[in-house]
């Protein structure tokens, strides 16, 4: 995997974001403390990306924003992964009526456009990080569950599952020991491909004011501020947009390389 | 000898269309994969079910262990009716009946090591004391060295994988082993090894075998009794020696003569069947073999033959037997 330029680039970009998030406290600035005298400074060695309309160091805010972005991406996809795995296996292996019921649920959820879902939900709960996570879970879980369901249904009729049944193995054991290990690989690929999508959902919701509340730094919020004051200085907008580009590209390259390596059906040399 | 397994008038249907679509197209909503099959299996013997692909033999085998639901009829095992039991109630029965599936590698869970695969029956039935010792003994029983416990199914050859599945089937010393095409996909030399292995284990543990196969050489080699299936029915049943010496049903004669023999002179009389196996969707009227039979009479087109049961215990259903 390290021999492929795209995979290497992906790893590099993702590493950049992760390290940034880890060491966000070391820049010497607070992400939220105001310094009105230093408004709209251009990049310099003291402020690597300049400052915003409240005089806050944009580089520090971007690094703190990485914590929010990565946190939402991993927590939300983690919940979707586990939830999709469990619900998908139940739908695929359980009785017919339960399958129909769950499918109806998955399909109704998938029928909502993500932004509409976010708007409706935030109207009910108010903007918060938990609302962002919930929107991401509702938007991604049905897709995972459907993939897991389809795989479970095809595994259900394989001879190794039949032979476990003929030994008298109970259903939970068949699912946990014989079916689940064969589902995890494809699902990991799917989920890793979805991380950039989740990052853009978080940024998008924060941009629209539906996500984290100010002064918490989020890439979407930084971008929104930059958009409002773009006549004063272009740097806040650039500082908000750049990390989104880096993160989505990095995770996409990484996910695609991972898929090419782990999914033998897509391997070209067969 | 006492019967271990009694199969009585078993019918198995599979739905193919929903009822409304069937009404609209005039096609039946289900097919009868097995259409009223009865046979009895003596304890300690080997019984073979023979037939072409699609004759319902695999379906019947799976139905005996409750993997496929039975439409009507009855299966009795060791004096107990086991057809129609729930999955939970079947658990005890499944300890006594083991199955060996067709695909040597595909019937082993791909992500589990051989050790975990062989531990499965003990874990399922809560007999986990001295697990490693038991697994080592099983590997030894089927002639595999202990280091195979660390291997994964994709690292095994067909013959090795087949030995593992035989070991798994015999793990709990079942009374009955149902082997579905135990020699499929194996080289001829390894086929022989597997059959000898199963015969040795049968002598050692007194296991009863129900073997499903289309390989007549296998049947002749191992089976005490056999049944020939055609389109989900048994058309001829009896002692293997009797059927090979004097087959009565015209389908059996065709099947036996199509089986290549080692001696070239013996192949001089080849009786063939014409055409293809009819579809289960559209069963022929009368004797279901008549469209392919070279010895058909007028009555074969209209009347289904009654089963004839001479006192010898060799039964067959044919209007114009050999």
DSSP structure string for B155-193: GS-HHHHHHHHHHHHHTT--SEEEEESTTTTS-HHHHHH
What average pLDDT does this structure show over A113-121?
A: 87
Whether residue A167 and residue B90 make contact (CB cut-off 8 A), yes or no, is no
Query: Which of these, A62, A185, A65, A210, lies nearest to A133 by C-alpha position?
Result: A210
Whether residue B95 and residue A168 make contact (CB cut-off 8 A), yes or no, is yes
Is A164's Cβ below 8 Å from some Cβ in B?
A: yes
Whether residue B101 and residue A170 make contact (CB cut-off 8 A), yes or no, is no
Which residues neighbour B272 within 8 Å (Cβ) at sequence distance 6 or greater? B254, B257, B258, B294
CA distance B267 to chain A (A): 37
Residue with the two structure tokens 């097919």: B31
* Sign of the dihedral defined by the CA atoms of residues A66, A69, A72, A77, in that order: negative
Residues of A in contact with B154 (CB under 8 A): none
Residues of A in contact with B102 (CB under 8 A): 159
Q: How many CB atoms lie within 10 A of CB A44?
A: 10
Whether the predicted pLDDT of A38 surpasses 80:
no
Q: How far apart are CA A168 and CA B125, in angstroms?
A: 8
Q: How far apart are CA A120 and CA A105, in angstroms?
A: 18
Whether the Cβ atoms of residue B222 and residue B46 lie closer than 8 Å to each other: yes
Q: How far apart are CA A184 and CA B65, in angstroms?
A: 30
Instruction: Tell me the C-alpha to C-alpha distance, in Å, between residue B138 and each of A99, B122, B146.
Output: 40, 12, 9
pLDDT of residue A265: 54
List the domains of chain A with CATH numbers: 5-269 (1.10.3720.10)
Which residues neighbour B135 within 8 Å (Cβ) at sequence distance 6 or greater? B115, B118, B119, B149
Backbone conformation region of residue B135, classed left if phi is above 0, alpha if psi is from -120 to 50, else beta: alpha
Chain length of chain A: 270
Q: How many CB atoms lie within 10 A of CB B56?
A: 25
Is A180's Cβ below 8 Å from some Cβ in B?
A: no
- Pull the structure tokens for residue B136: 């080592």
Residue with the two structure tokens 């095409």: B181
Residues of B in contact with A170 (CB under 8 A): 87, 91, 124
Q: How far apart are CA B55 and CA B34, in angstroms?
A: 8
CA distance B65 to chain A (A): 7
**pLDDT band at residue A1 under the 50/70/90 scheme:** low
Whether the predicted pLDDT of A2 surpasses 70:
no
**DSSP bridge pairs for B3:** B42
Nearest CA in chain A to B117: A164
Of B98, B102, B120, the CB nearest to A159: B102
Is A156's Cβ below 8 Å from some Cβ in B?
A: no
pLDDT of residue A154: 93
Residues of A in contact with B97 (CB under 8 A): 166
Q: How many CB atoms lie within 10 A of CB B153?
A: 22
Whether the Cβ atoms of residue A151 and residue A157 lie closer than 8 Å to each other: no
Is B168's Cβ below 8 Å from some Cβ in A?
A: yes
pLDDT of residue B268: 47
pLDDT of residue B290: 84
**Computed over its alpha carbons, how large is the radius of gyration of chain A?**
22
pLDDT in tens, chain B (322 residues): 578 999 999 999 888 777 777 777 777 778 888 988 999 999 889 999 998 887 888 999 999 988 988 989 999 998 889 988 888 888 888 999 999 998 889 999 998 999 999 999 999 998 888 999 999 999 988 889 999 999 999 899 888 999 999 999 989 989 999 999 888 777 888 888 888 888 888 888 889 999 998 888 888 888 999 999 988 899 999 999 888 888 888 888 888 887 655 555 544 455 666 777 777 877 888 888 888 888 888 888 888 888 887 767 788 888 888 7
Residue with the two structure tokens 């730094």: A217
């Amino acid at each position: 995997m390290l021999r492929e330029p795209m995979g290497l680039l992906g790893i590099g970009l993702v590493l950049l974001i992760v390290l940034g998030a880890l060491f966000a406290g070391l820049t010497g600035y607070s992400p939220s403390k105001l310094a009105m005298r230093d408004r709209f400074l251009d990049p310099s060695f003291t402020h690597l990306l300049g400052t915003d309309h409240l005089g806050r160091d944009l580089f520090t805010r971007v690094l703190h924003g990485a914590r929010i972005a990565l946190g939402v991406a991993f927590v939300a996809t983690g919940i979707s992964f586990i939830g999709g795995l469990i619900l998908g296996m139940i739908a695929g292996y359980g009785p017919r009526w339960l399958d129909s019921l769950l499918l109806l649920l998955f399909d109704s959820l998938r029928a909502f456009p993500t932004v509409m879902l976010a708007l409706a939900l935030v109207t009910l709960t108010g903007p918060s990080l938990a609302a962002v996570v919930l929107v991401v879970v509702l938007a991604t879980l049905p897709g995972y569950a459907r993939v897991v369901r389809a795989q479970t249904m095809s595994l259900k009729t394989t001879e190794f599952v039949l032979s476990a049944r003929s030994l008298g193995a109970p259903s939970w054991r068949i699912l946990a020991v014989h079916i689940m290990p064969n589902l995890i690989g494809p699902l990991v690929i799917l989920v890793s491909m979805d991380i950039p999508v989740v990052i853009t959902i978080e940024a998008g919701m924060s941009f629209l004011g539906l996500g984290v509340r100010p002064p918490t730094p989020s890439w979407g919020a930084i971008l929104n501020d930059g958009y409002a004051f773009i006549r004063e200085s272009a740097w806040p907008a650039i500082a908000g947009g750049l990390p989104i580009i880096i993160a989505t590209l990095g995770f996409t390259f990484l996910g695609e390389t991972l898929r090419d390596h782990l999914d033998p059906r897509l391997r070209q040399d067969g | 000898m006492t019967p271990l397994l009694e199969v009585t008038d078993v019918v198995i249907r599979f739905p193919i269309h929903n009822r409304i679509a069937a009404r609209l197209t005039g096609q039946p909503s289900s097919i009868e994969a097995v259409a009223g099959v009865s046979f009895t299996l003596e304890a300690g013997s080997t019984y073979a079910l023979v037939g072409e692909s699609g004759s319902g033999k695999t379906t019947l085998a799976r139905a005996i262990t409750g993997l496929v639901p039975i439409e009507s009829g009855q299966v009795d095992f060791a004096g107990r009716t086991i057809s129609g039991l729930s999955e939970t109630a079947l658990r005890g029965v499944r300890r006594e009946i083991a199955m060996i599936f067709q695909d040597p590698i595909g019937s082993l869970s791909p992500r589990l090591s051989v050790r975990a695969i062989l531990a499965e029956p003990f874990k399922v039935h809560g007999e986990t004391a001295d697990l490693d010792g038991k697994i080592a003994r099983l590997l030894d029983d089927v002639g595999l060295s202990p280091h195979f416990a660390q291997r994964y199914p994709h690292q095994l050859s067909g013959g090795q994988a087949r030995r593992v599945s035989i070991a798994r089937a015999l793990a709990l010393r079942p009374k009955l082993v149902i082997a579905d095409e135990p020699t499929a996909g194996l080289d001829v030399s390894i086929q022989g090894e597997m059959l000898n292995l199963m015969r040795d284990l049968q002598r050692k543990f007194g296991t009863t075998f129900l073997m499903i196969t289309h390989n007549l050489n296998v049947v002749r080699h191992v089976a005490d009794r056999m049944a020939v299936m055609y389109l989900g029915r048994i058309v001829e049943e009896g002692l293997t020696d009797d059927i090979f010496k004097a087959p009565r049903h015209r389908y059996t004669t065709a099947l036996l003569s199509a089986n290549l023999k080692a001696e070239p002179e013996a192949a001089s009389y080849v009786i063939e069947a014409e055409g293809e196996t009819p579809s289960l969707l559209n069963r022929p009227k009368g004797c279901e073999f008549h469209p392919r039979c070279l010895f058909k009479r007028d009555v074969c087109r209209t009347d289904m033959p009654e089963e004839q049961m001479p006192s010898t215990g060799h039964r067959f259903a044919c209007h114009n037997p050999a």
